[in-house]
Amino acid sequence: MINFNKFYKPFNIISIILVTVSIFLLIFKGLNFGVDFKGGTLIELRTTDYQVTISTLRQSLSKMNLGDVNVKKFGNENDFLIKFEKKNNDINMIELIKNDLSKTIGNNFNFRRVENVGPKVSSELLKSGVIAIVLSLAVMLFYIWIRFEWQFSLGAILALFHDVIITLGIFSLFNLEINLSIVAAVLTIVGYSMNDTVVIFDRVRENLRKYSDIKIYELTNISINETLSRTIITSVTTLLALVSIYLFGGEILKGFSLAMILGVLFGTYSSIYIANAVLVGLKVSQKTVLREDNN
């Protein structure tokens, strides 16, 4: 048996620091929103000409009066991702850029993907993304509230916030792009983290009913250990699937799978160290669960 409970304090302090730093990052550094949420244009360009580099592309694009142009490699040597916030509303814009580019870098390229999101749509997408995340947290709160006692709900929700905030904090720290698929990842993280917490809580409650003489501090540790191999195996298989998406699923899914990997790691950690520490802090006892049963 591993004594997880010995480390509740130090890990909680680390978590509080991580969450605080993440919140600071989110407030002062902010998130790097992609075209989905900021509006603008994204072009994925593939060239067969090895002389084309980021700087040649940037040079030819900067002459086109497109505002702030961002060019970066995308996966391999021949693929580039061009992003800019569109200023004019010209329907032919993409065609004009194509023509202008062929004058400077030749004809050995094509646009593999073009995304153009207007300001109205991007603000709507951002709004519905935020609503989706808030709604999912609310629904989880409601679900766990009808399934468990309030002390458990608080523990699970704190664990959820912990996972979501730290994942977003890491995205802010490394300037990783937030787009629609990251919102999907965050929602899935919410589901996964909850799932992990609920399985341990189920066991805690079962043990609370079984043993009246064991203190919650010990009891959470017993429950964590009893469910530990499941926690590890499920995290490992989920991570195996996610790492496989990250490595082989193509560039477009990289951000999504990275967010999910972070979420699963933090989700597993938080169901052990945050959720259970809350139960200990709130001095949950056999009375807590028996009272509910009598109702």
Partner 1 sequence: MLYFSKLRIILVSIITLLFVYIASSNFIRFDDVFFNKKINLGLDLQGGSYLLLEIDNDPILIQKLQITTTTIRNYLKNKDIIFKDLKIVDKNIFFQINRADQEKVKLFFTESESEINPYYPQYKSHQFDLTINNEEFRLEFSKYGLIEIRTSSQDQAIEIVRRRVDEIGTNEPNILKRGNNRILVELPGLDDPMRIKSLLGKTANLTFRFITQNSNETFGAEKLSYEDGSTESLVSKRIILSGENLLDAQPKMDNQTNETIVSFTLDRVGSKRFGKATTSGIGKQLAIVLDGKIISAPVIRDAIVSGSGQISGNFTFQSATDLALLLRSGALPAPLEIIEERTVGPDLGQDSINAGIIALLIGFLLVIIFMFFKYRIFGLIANITLLINLFLLIGILTLFEATLTLPGIAGIILTVGMAVDANVLIFERIKEESKNEKNNIISFDSGYIRSKTAIIDANITTLLAAAILFIMGSGPIKGFSVTLGVGIFTTLFSVYFIARLLTSIYVLKNKDKENLI
CA distance 87 to 143: 46
The correct pick among 234, 265, 281, 282 for binding partner 1 (CB under 8 A) is: 234
135 near partner 1, judged by CB under 8 A:
yes
CA distance 126 to 140: 21
105 near partner 1, judged by CB under 8 A:
no
73: tokens are 């490699």
The correct pick among 31, 154, 159, 242 for binding partner 1 (CB under 8 A) is: 242
81 near partner 1, judged by CB under 8 A:
no
194 near partner 1, judged by CB under 8 A:
yes
108 near partner 1, judged by CB under 8 A:
no
**Integer CA distances (angstroms), 273 to 71, 159, 265, in order:** 42, 9, 12
Least Å distance, CB 189 to partner 1, is 9
The correct pick among 3, 59, 110, 212 for binding partner 1 (CB under 8 A) is: 110
2 near partner 1, judged by CB under 8 A:
no
Considering only the stretches 51-59, 85-93, 170-178, 211-219, report the one whose residues sit in contact with partner 1 under the rule CB under 8 A. Answer: 85-93
Least Å distance, CB 9 to partner 1, is 28
Within 8 A by CB and 6+ apart from 9, the residues are: none
* Strand ranges in the chain using DSSP code E only, listed in sequence order: 32-33, 40-47, 69-74, 76-84, 109-117, 177-178
Which amino acid, residue 159? A
248: tokens are 């082989």
85 near partner 1, judged by CB under 8 A:
no
Cβ distance to partner 1 smaller for residue 12 or 195: 195
**Integer CA distances (angstroms), 132 to 39, 127, 187, 261, in order:** 19, 9, 8, 20
Contact (CB, 8 A) for 201 and 272: no
Least Å distance, CB 245 to partner 1, is 5
Considering only the stretches 21-29, 53-61, 161-169, 222-230, report the one whose residues sit in contact with partner 1 under the rule CB under 8 A. Answer: 222-230
**Integer CA distances (angstroms), 167 to 36, 128, 162, 172, 211, in order:** 19, 20, 8, 9, 37
Least Å distance, CB 98 to partner 1, is 9
Report phi then psi at 250, rounded to 5: 95, 160
String of contacts with partner 1 for each residue 164-183, x by CB under 8 A: ----------------xx-x
Kindly give the pairing relationship between strand 177-178 and strand 32-33: parallel
Which amino acid, residue 274? I
291 near partner 1, judged by CB under 8 A:
no
115 near partner 1, judged by CB under 8 A:
yes
Which amino acid, residue 79? D
Cβ distance to partner 1 smaller for residue 1 or 250: 250
The correct pick among 153, 172, 227, 288 for binding partner 1 (CB under 8 A) is: 227
CA distance 242 to 8: 28
**Integer CA distances (angstroms), 60 to 54, 63, 281, in order:** 10, 6, 61
**Which residues of this protein are in contact with partner 1, per CB under 8 A?**
44, 89, 91-92, 94-95, 110-118, 120-121, 125, 128-129, 131-132, 135-136, 139-140, 143, 147, 180-181, 183-184, 187-188, 190-192, 194-196, 198-199, 202-203, 226-227, 229-230, 233-234, 236-245, 247-250, 252-253, 256-257, 260
